[in-house]
Amino acid sequence: MENKLLYALGRPFSPLYTLAMHLRAAGYRRGFFRVQNIGVPVVSIGNLTMGGTGKTPLVRHIAQLLQKEGRQPAIISRGYGGKATGAVNRVSDGRQVCMSPAEAGDEPWLLAWSLPAVPVLTGVVRRLPAAEAVLLGADSLVLDDGFQHMALARDLDLVLFNADTLAGNSRVFPGGDLREPVAALHRAHAFVLTSVNDGNRQRASRFAELLMKRFPEKPVWQVGYRPRGWYRLGSEGAFTILDTLPAQRGYAFCGIARPRGFTSALAELEIDIAGFQRFADHFRYTARSVASIERAAQKAGATLLITTEKDLVKLSALPVNMPCYALRMEVVTEKQFDRWLLDRLFARSLQAY
């Protein structure tokens, strides 16, 4: 209801924002604005819509895929939500994590922690951390949330849509969910529908057909997520990886844009959940909010806390008295997706370089 009201108030300004986005894209397309070619293959993971589309798990999957191919990838991100303000911020140098979650931002820190051999760098002007990553030895780059950042050249542009929300209300900000008008999708090389499951598969397939009809030259892929185990928050913010969760009653909470995937996964695993609390996306937990969550959990009869990977990162520097676990999720892709991505990425990079 709150979003609908804000969008209704912002709708008169959408044409102006749309015009600004058209002019900006045209400026890059016609050479008025500089596009920096960094000299190594670059794959961008982005989205057209506001809110979560599952970029972080796919960024991690692609970085791991490049590692398996014998490549030395690095991840480049804006570092949204992080306190670090340098032109280039080394979240990880590929040997160790160099920043706290508060400095780095939740997603970059999580990527750095879960991919210890992959440098993760942030910066508002993405070409600067990209150049630094190459100096660190990276021979390929994964650009996180890069679709609107046209100043850095890329060989492959993937645009993600969450299968539960698709294109939202199909109106451009500030009157709707879209960061840019739909015509911007002509820049993409392929589309990826994320969080596909049995409950939304039919709807996702219909949306895929619409995309293929509008953009017949661009493939549409579907990916899902499945539970892979658990993280436990230990002393001094350390994480322990576990295969199973203790058979106790849990209290779930999260502060992410699309919590449905999280709650569906808990239901699928038949976890005994005493209650659930939702916070705003990118919610910044405090000692006071954690204490409030623990009181609610104890009142509901729970003996442990359950949250998402991103939320667990934010809790690592806070006093958490109850056992706290996060569900580990991994990407499940179509069989041909990984091979297509590698072939397309390096075929285009060979042509370019």
| pLDDT score, position 46 | 96
What the block records as the tokens of 69 is: 């191919």
Do 305 and 323 touch, CB atoms closer than 8 A? yes
H/E run at residue 255? none
What's the CA gap between 36 and 48, in Å, rounded? 22
Cα-flanking dihedrals φ and ψ of residue 43, to 5°? -115, 130
Distances (CA, A) of 341 to 38, 45, 78, 189, 307: 20, 12, 23, 10, 31
pLDDT tens for 285-304 read 999 999 999 999 999 999 99
| pLDDT score, position 350 | 59
Beta bridge partners of 74: 141
Do 146 and 45 touch, CB atoms closer than 8 A? yes
H/E run at residue 58? helix 55-68
H/E run at residue 174? none
CATH code that applies to domain 2-224+332-352: 3.40.50.300
Q: DSSP code of 125?
A: S
Phi-psi domain of 63 (left: phi exceeds 0; alpha: psi -120 through 50; beta: other) = alpha
Give me the residues of the chain with pLDDT under 70, please: 1-2, 236, 348-353
Place of tokens 């659930």: 276
Distances (CA, A) of 339 to 46, 130, 206, 238: 20, 25, 25, 35
Instruction: Please tell me whether residue 132 adopts helix, strand or coil conformation.
Output: helix
19-55: b or e for each residue (b if 16 or more CB lie within 10 Å)? eebeebbeeeeeeeeeeeebebbbbbbbbbbbebbbb
What's the CA gap between 126 and 168, in Å, rounded? 28
Residue 321: is it exposed, middle or buried by C-beta count within 10 angstroms (0-12/13-18/19+)? exposed
18: how many CB neighbours lie within 10 A of its CB? 19
Quick check: pTM over 0.85?
A: yes
| pLDDT score, position 1 | 46
Q: What are the structural domain ranges in the chain?
A: 2-224+332-352, 247-322
What's the CA gap between 38 and 228, in Å, rounded? 35
Place of tokens 């499940």: 332
| pLDDT score, position 50 | 83
pLDDT tens for 18-49 read 999 999 999 999 999 999 999 999 999 999 99
| pLDDT score, position 61 | 96
What the block records as the tokens of 15 is: 């044409």
